[in-house]
Structure 1
């Protein structure tokens, strides 16, 4: 539910991007033009009230924070599915647990990247974000091992969202002065 609210919020931010946060957006625009997902980048950064005064490294930290929210929310979502009375398959429970763990690991990797950004260890920050981006693949592959299990569209959207947010964060880091 929380991630649906975040996605809905980001959608409205994209629609109302100039009304929510006042301030200089030129750095945000220049930064986002160097990413694969300009609209996601711009609306996400504009949704954070500290972004108009952030430097490039600060914008990277904001994107990583958004990715952490996505990973944590997805892990919680999967854990709640485990507790659902509708989930009575042992195999499904096992896969949901594995997926919840993978998204939790993604959150941990993203948290590590924040520290690396703070220490200006950009190559390590990039590595942690790349790892976080890859954890959803392990979840998707867990579902593929059991053809009778359905990988839901909601989970696929969450996977894609985390990957795209991580792509944006990595692109911002690529453009930092190392």
Structure 2
């Protein structure tokens, strides 16, 4: 009798666990199933994140970026758009600083590379101005202007990449231009969803 019970115990526990999961219970603390948080501020997945990134060219990275912010769990669409614009600005500033530091290095990397980095320095200086203008337009609810400035920032990064190609210096900046363009593109996708959202 005891042997039969022991043999059936794993099966019985499995059925109980499946019932608990189906009823919305997760985790077992001290042998007691705990009801998971549903539809409240502790819910880990904000459904607006999927909606915000629905039309993004780089959808997966868009979602992952937004989910990396703790405040995104309870954010509305405007907050999600702001988070993306702000992190894109931070990335642009990081790249601009990196390029500036490279140019200040006393050791020349060759005329072609030096010229390419000088061009990139100018492009990212302009791009940072565009991102500032984007944020000003964003807080004025001028989403068409955000689109204009962000599109121009993308062109700045693309011009930098062209200069690197001409100077045979593509490897110098690694994937920084690609990352910046991707962030700008994703930010634009989220802003466009916001613009289409009825108040």
TM-score between both structures, scaled by the size of structure 2: 0.69
Cα distance in 1, alignment partners of residues 115 and 195 from structure 2: 44
What is residue 150 of structure 1 aligned with on the other side? 169
Q: CA shift at 1:156, angstroms?
A: 4.5
Query: Is contact 2:46-2:74 (8 Å) kept?
Result: no
Query: Is contact 2:157-2:177 (8 Å) kept?
Result: yes
Q: CA shift at 1:23, angstroms?
A: 4.0
* Stretches of structure 1 lacking an aligned partner (at least 5 in a row): 1-20
Q: 1:84 aligns with which of 96, 102, 105?
A: 105
1:119-151 Cα shifts (integer Å, max 9, x gaps): 1101001111111111011112223333xx321
Matches within 5 A, 1:45-124: 45-124=66-145
Query: Is contact 1:81-1:87 (8 Å) kept?
Result: no
2:147 corresponds to 1:126: yes
Q: CA shift at 1:113, angstroms?
A: 0.8
1:42-70 Cα shifts (integer Å, max 9, x gaps): 11111222222322122111111121122
Cα distance in 1, alignment partners of residues 82 and 126 from structure 2: 18
What is residue 6 of structure 1 aligned with on the other side? none
Paired residue total: 155
2:181 corresponds to 1:174: no
Secondary structure of the residue aligned to 2:169 is coil
What RMSD in Å do the two structures reach over aligned CA positions?
A: 2.1
What is residue 9 of structure 2 aligned with on the other side? none
